Structure 1
Amino acid sequence: MAQNGTSPKAPPKRPVRRVLTATAGGMAILLVLLILLWNWDWFVPLVNRRASAALHRPVTIAHLHVRLGLTTTVSVDDLQIHQPEGFDSEKELFASAKKATVSVNVWRYITHKGLEIPLIALDTPKGDIVALANGKNNYSFTDPNAKPEPAPQGNTQPSTLPKIGDVVITNGDIRIAIAKLKTDMHVLLHTTPPKGDQDGSIVIDLKGRYAQAPITGHIVGGSLLTLTNSTRPYPIDARLENGPTYVTLRGSVDDPLHFKGTKLVLHFAGPDMSLLYGLTGIPIPQTPSYSVSGNLDYTSAHIRFSNFSGKMGSSDIGGTIAVDPQTKPITVDANLYSHHVDLKDLGGFIGAKPGHEESKQAATSNRILPDKPINVPKLNAVNAHLVYKGDRIENKDMPLDNILADIAVQDGAITINKLNFAVGDGTLGLSGALDPAKNGQFDTHFKVDVSRLSIQRLMKATATFKGQGTLGGHITLAATGNSIATLLGNGNGGVTLVVDHGGDVSALLPDLMGLKIGSAILSALGIPTRSDLKCFIADMPLRQGILSTNSLLLMTNNTRTLGGGTVNLKNETLDYHVTTRSTSFNVLSLPGRVNITGPLKSPTIMPGAEIIGRAAATAGLAVAFPPAVLLPTIQFGVGQGSACEDALTQANTAPAAGVKPGATTGSGAASVQPTPHGKAVSQKPLSRKQVHSVWQERLKKQN
């Protein structure tokens, strides 16, 4: 104790401060040393493990670089993503890059302003995208052993896309091999930097095979920064060649990530539109060569190729096609037109070869019915509604004026609501349906309505026919098959056709039959060269592909010809005969029975025993007693009778087609008749009773 009574002094605090200062200085030095000596590669094993677990395949990086800051940049060197299980045979890695760099605005993210990625840079990225024929692929990043997660309940908000800045790609090469698409091609891509006022761009080149055909392409698009900019249109300039098909696409897309609209012009050309199936997924029948241009627009709900026009073969083609890709199968709505159409260009739509040149097989085959199968899998790939109008049919071999078609495809079934051809004041109309059956077959039913067809108009192409008259009636067919040939070869139905006052039969019959046998038949029958057709009735039922004869009558001003026999549409052969008789006294005539047999395309025409006997007798008498040569050629006539009336009555009572001809020859429709002074007056349609009365009057006059 101090003597003066005062307390002792406290020990000085300087040593404590020194200790704290030394400790802080040491930690600062250690932190500086740690920053100077820190190696981010220490985290490489952890990154490899985490990335491999997330992608369900081995992932490795050689080096990791991190530059911290409000905008943090992460780079990896020698990135390698290996193939997943089941793709060990692939020679290349699933993905790789010499270097990959990503910058992230951390401050913006932690302040809840959204994710911003100012930079993505890939140096020599490579990829190997593969899908096998069994549906297995190497680009699904899911655990093959994991159970599927339940579907989310309630309304889910769509994820917000990050704001992306600059994207730099150098020497990219992505291989895409899709077995089902028969595709194995390389996508080569790189970016270009901005130059002055010009933005940067992404350049893509394609090479390889797509849909079994070689493909090359060159695509230049705006920078990927522009791709995410909703206020600036994204430019596109693309050129593709897939086999013989050539496609160009130029224009711009408004806010492409949100499908706001486009200003694109699409042009495509090639030898056959059916080859577009691989590019569009829309089945199109075979066509001749084409070249078409139009406006392409798309939203999230539809793709429209509108106001297009061009050529298809020798026909022009235009209209609008709308596609809804969200439905399964996709939905197509096409409204097409042609100002001038050649029907041969549409041959592929009925299974025939389109265009004007016959194939070598068609030229050497004895078959004339198209036997190309209807492609059921392609029909199932789309639900479609097609309306087509051809204003003028340009074809010297076809006596048709225009065409109007309304056809629907739904779940593989085809419904022909309307397929009408105009012929002068008359129409040739078809309706029916094809419903899918087993083994690629179709259950079908069709009806053809022939109404008020002018015989003179039908024969316009020959430039040899004179006279008046109309053709009317019906044709029906119900069958199961997969082509025109099999449908007719298995079909049931019938043909009921009537012609009144047809004009010059020598010009009419050869061309109307269209089988290159008409002239030979007329010659064999002994029908005079300038006979006027008074009446023609064909009433022929079809049973299991065999067309038989209820009535076949052709009457001229001095002959009456009856037909009988069958036409086998299964093997396209004829076993038919026609017999002619004079209806009045006639000299220098050798009429009788003529047999028509053999292939439908080129049948054999042989005179019957009566004609041969008369010809032989004529030749013998010419030698023995020349004046007697006329005796075998003299016919005294069988009398006109009521053959035409009876045949018409039978056709109206029990028509082979199942539908009465009624007023289809023109008597029952409003028509224009000349007055004695040459002026035309309109007549109102007649009733069926009146039609029958008119027919009877006509028959009385000709008898």
Structure 2
Amino acid sequence: MQTFPMILLRTLKWLASAVLAIVIVAVLFIALFGWNWLRAPLERQVLAQTGRVLSIQGDLSVHLGWPWPRLQAAQVTFANPAWAAQANMLKADEVALSVHLPQLLAKRLVVSDLHLVKPLVFLERHRDGRKTWLLDRQQQDENARIDIDRFTLDQGVIGFDDVASQTSLRAELSSLAKRADDDATPGVSFNAKGKYQGLPLVAKGTGDSVLALRDDSTPYGLSIDATVGHTHVRAEGHITSLLKFSAIDMQLALSGDNLNQLFTLTGIALPATRDYVTHGHLLRKGNTVRYESFTGRVGTSDLSGWLQVKTGGKRPLLTADLVSNRLTLEDLGPVIGARPGKVQSAIKAVAQTGAAGAVTPTSKRVMPDIPFKFSNWDTLDADVQFSAKSIRKGSYMPLDALSTHLSLKDAVLTLDPLQFGVAGGQLVAAITLDGRHNPIRAKAELQLKRLALAKLLPADQKGVASSSLIGGQIKLAGTGNSVGSMLAHADGSVALLMSGGQISQMTMEKAGLHLWEIFRLTLTGDKQIKLRCAVANFDVKAGDMHANTLLLDTEVTTLLGSGHIDLAQEKLDLTLTQKTKNTSPLSLRSPIHITGNFAKPVIRVDQNRMAARALGALALGVINPLLALIPLIDAGPGKDSDCVQWLQGKK
């Protein structure tokens, strides 16, 4: 009687013989007939799983190995879904790939090496999100894709279409032959064209021969020269994992018309600028991308420093430290929505049309009126330090330096502090723009500290005043999507004070229309007189600045003003009256009206009052020539204003 161990041993021997026989039969079958018999079952299986046709018209071979058997097939096509514009996703003279067999048995296709000979590859994304490279029947399961580690080809075409994002690209790739005297590793060259996010794209470059799509350990050498819209990109260095960009180490040069156009490429909302050029070192480690040691220019202003973007939070965080050694003031115009040459073009437009009233055409406005693109503010947070060590002297504002801390958090933009060196003094501001609301809610507080009046005056009027210092405070809050519209709806106050120094007597006598003094100073020459104080105090309501106090007090004359300034229409309506402190024997004393607009103020005397004085003098002259002087005498005496109380804010 046979024991159990003997029975088990005989069974194992029988099984081993059967398996060996099967293997021998399979080997003989493959040796006689090859692997082409597998084509039809493979095609049927792919059709059943994907609903798409796989066609292998050439020979099929399998090189067995564990766990990576390698398949090689000639004249291969794989169809696209019926909704796609292109009939086939893949057409190649030859396809060779190594498949991870355990993953395949788990219904996941993982390929370590894919080599294509003369392939045509077309990938498409439908408006509803379906993707041709997803292999489930609905093309919506992100897990139903081929995971490819490394990809090589000799030459071919790769296309990508995404109607929803207005992207359509075609790239021609070919291998670079290695010369006999060249020690470099052979690589691949490419040329691409089409459109990306609606912008025209042209690109060319070279890379390593093996495209490491998912390899997180081997850097891939890449050199690229591309133009997208008006943005030019040149980069050279290494990228680890072409699909995930897990690490980057490249020299990067950028140039373009406007930094905010980079939003299409980066998804980062940068401010509007003039044309720019920059070159620096681009690094990525983990979830941080850093552009460091860069130098360049924006407009005519130099710019250097570093910036980085860190992901992984609620939204990306942009941090930067930027420095300009010499800033051109006009280059800041686009940042606040000003058009190029804004002030000069507005003045020129008014001069050509002769318009001096309300300003409605955009070409005649002085205030920045281009809307902020605040819809992108909630795409990132930012913490930026910016400083300009010196500022090129502008034609209308003597700025010396600039520094600011910019913060963007939850779509709320703040500049605090924003500091300018102005006319030997300082302008310190805190500005908040709340982009969570449409229109934007804005608040601004500005302090003027010891601004020298003489430095604020045009070059041809430097002698009008000297040594006078200006200080003050401006508090405004308003709504609007541009600086101009914010001011047009602003509420708040404006208070400016000036004290000390001297002012041209000729200027003040002209303001008083004191003809005798003007004549005398013309003969003897102008001289400086004491400027006691000046006060400008406005209440601002719905964009209308109402003058509570307008005062200019000197040794000889006090000017008092009234009226308002319409910020919405950029319209002036102010009246100045004179109170002379000395008797003037010959004066056409009359109110002075300041009208027109910001681009072209109009200063004129009250012609009716002057005519009345002249007619009075003429009538009295008929009776007695000496009586004709009576209407022209300004008897005075105006009183000194209590400047101390004005300067202390007690009036």
Same-fold status (TM-score > 0.5): yes
Q: Cα distance 1:256–1:583, how it changes in 2: closer, same or farther (>3 A)?
A: same
Q: Do structure 1's residue 487 and structure 2's residue 490 form an aligned pair?
A: no
Q: Cα distance 1:337–1:549, how it changes in 2: closer, same or farther (>3 A)?
A: same
Q: Cα distance 1:146–1:555, how it changes in 2: closer, same or farther (>3 A)?
A: closer
Q: Which residue of 1 aligns with 2:92?
A: 97
Q: Cα distance 1:573–1:41, how it changes in 2: closer, same or farther (>3 A)?
A: same
Shift of 1:52: 3.9
Q: Which residue of 2 aligns with 1:236?
A: 222
Q: Which residue of 2 aligns with 1:294?
A: 280
Q: Which residue of 2 aligns with 1:169?
A: 153
CA distance in structure 1 between the aligned counterparts of 2:62 and 2:202, rounded to whole angstroms: 41
Native 8 Å contact 1:222 1:235 kept in 2: yes
SS at match of 1:76: strand
Shift of 1:547: 0.7
Q: Which residue of 2 aligns with 1:338?
A: 324
Q: Write out per-residue CA displacement over residues 482-512 of structure 1, whole angstroms, 9 at most, x where no aligned residue.
A: 1111111111101011000243368999xxx
Q: Do structure 1's residue 371 and structure 2's residue 369 form an aligned pair?
A: yes
Shift of 1:232: 6.7
Alignment of 1:219-618 (within 5 A): 219-224=205-210, 234-253=220-239, 263-354=249-340, 363=349, 365-397=363-395, 398-423=397-422, 425-438=424-437, 440-459=438-457, 464-465=462-463, 466-504=465-503, 522=511, 532=529, 533-608=531-606, 609-617=608-616
CA distance in structure 2 between the aligned counterparts of 1:79 and 1:227, rounded to whole angstroms: 22
Native 8 Å contact 1:573 1:600 kept in 2: yes
Shift of 1:362: 9.0
Native 8 Å contact 2:422 2:451 kept in 1: yes
Q: Do structure 1's residue 38 and structure 2's residue 33 form an aligned pair?
A: yes
Native 8 Å contact 1:41 1:64 kept in 2: yes
Native 8 Å contact 2:593 2:604 kept in 1: yes
Q: Write out per-residue CA displacement over residues 399-438 of structure 1, whole angstroms, 9 at most, x where no aligned residue.
A: 1110001111122211122110013552101102111344
Q: Which residue of 1 aligns with 2:118?
A: 124
Q: Cα distance 1:249–1:97, how it changes in 2: closer, same or farther (>3 A)?
A: same
In the alignment of these two chains, the number of paired residues is: 595
CA distance in structure 1 between the aligned counterparts of 2:349 and 2:324, rounded to whole angstroms: 30
Q: Which residue of 1 aligns with 2:5?
A: none
Q: Cα distance 1:129–1:645, how it changes in 2: closer, same or farther (>3 A)?
A: same
After superposing the two structures, state which structure 1 stretch, 259-268 or 490-499, moved more: 259-268
Q: Which residue of 2 aligns with 1:156?
A: none
Q: Cα distance 1:309–1:627, how it changes in 2: closer, same or farther (>3 A)?
A: farther
Native 8 Å contact 2:580 2:634 kept in 1: yes
CA distance in structure 1 between the aligned counterparts of 2:506 and 2:33, rounded to whole angstroms: 103
Shift of 1:555: 1.6
CA distance in structure 1 between the aligned counterparts of 2:383 and 2:132, rounded to whole angstroms: 37
Letter in 1 for 2:409: Q
Shift of 1:216: 1.2
Shift of 1:633: 2.9
Q: 2:71 is matched with which residue: 69, 74, 84?
A: 74
CA distance in structure 2 between the aligned counterparts of 1:265 and 1:146, rounded to whole angstroms: 38
Q: Which residue of 1 aligns with 2:15?
A: none
| Coordinate RMSD, CA, aligned | 3.9
Q: Cα distance 1:269–1:530, how it changes in 2: closer, same or farther (>3 A)?
A: farther
Q: Write out per-residue CA displacement over residues 582-604 of structure 1, whole angstroms, 9 at most, x where no aligned residue.
A: 12212333232123334343344
SS at match of 2:372: coil
CA distance in structure 2 between the aligned counterparts of 1:639 and 1:482, rounded to whole angstroms: 47
Shift of 1:209: 1.9
SS at match of 1:570: coil
After superposing the two structures, state which structure 1 stretch, 28-37 or 246-255, moved more: 28-37
Q: Which residue of 2 aligns with 1:513?
A: none
Q: Which residue of 2 aligns with 1:200?
A: 186
Shift of 1:567: 1.2
Q: Cα distance 1:62–1:180, how it changes in 2: closer, same or farther (>3 A)?
A: same
CA distance in structure 1 between the aligned counterparts of 2:296 and 2:327, rounded to whole angstroms: 12
CA distance in structure 1 between the aligned counterparts of 2:347 and 2:130, rounded to whole angstroms: 41
CA distance in structure 2 between the aligned counterparts of 1:452 and 1:261, rounded to whole angstroms: 52
Q: Cα distance 1:502–1:49, how it changes in 2: closer, same or farther (>3 A)?
A: farther
SS at match of 2:500: strand
Q: Write out per-residue CA displacement over residues 264-308 of structure 1, whole angstroms, 9 at most, x where no aligned residue.
A: 221112232222222222222222222211111111221111011
CA distance in structure 1 between the aligned counterparts of 2:89 and 2:347, rounded to whole angstroms: 48
Q: Cα distance 1:356–1:490, how it changes in 2: closer, same or farther (>3 A)?
A: closer
Q: Write out per-residue CA displacement over residues 303-362 of structure 1, whole angstroms, 9 at most, x where no aligned residue.
A: 111011112222111110101244453221121000100110111111112468967999
CA distance in structure 1 between the aligned counterparts of 2:219 and 2:22, rounded to whole angstroms: 55
CA distance in structure 1 between the aligned counterparts of 2:301 and 2:489, rounded to whole angstroms: 34
Native 8 Å contact 1:524 1:594 kept in 2: no
Q: Which residue of 1 aligns with 2:7?
A: none
Q: Cα distance 1:461–1:596, how it changes in 2: closer, same or farther (>3 A)?
A: closer
CA distance in structure 2 between the aligned counterparts of 1:34 and 1:628, rounded to whole angstroms: 138
After superposing the two structures, state which structure 1 stretch, 617-626 or 416-425, moved more: 617-626
TM-score, scaled to structure 1: 0.75
CA distance in structure 2 between the aligned counterparts of 1:539 and 1:401, rounded to whole angstroms: 27
CA distance in structure 2 between the aligned counterparts of 1:317 and 1:28, rounded to whole angstroms: 72
Q: Write out per-residue CA displacement over residues 595-635 of structure 1, whole angstroms, 9 at most, x where no aligned residue.
A: 33343433444422323322455577789977666443321
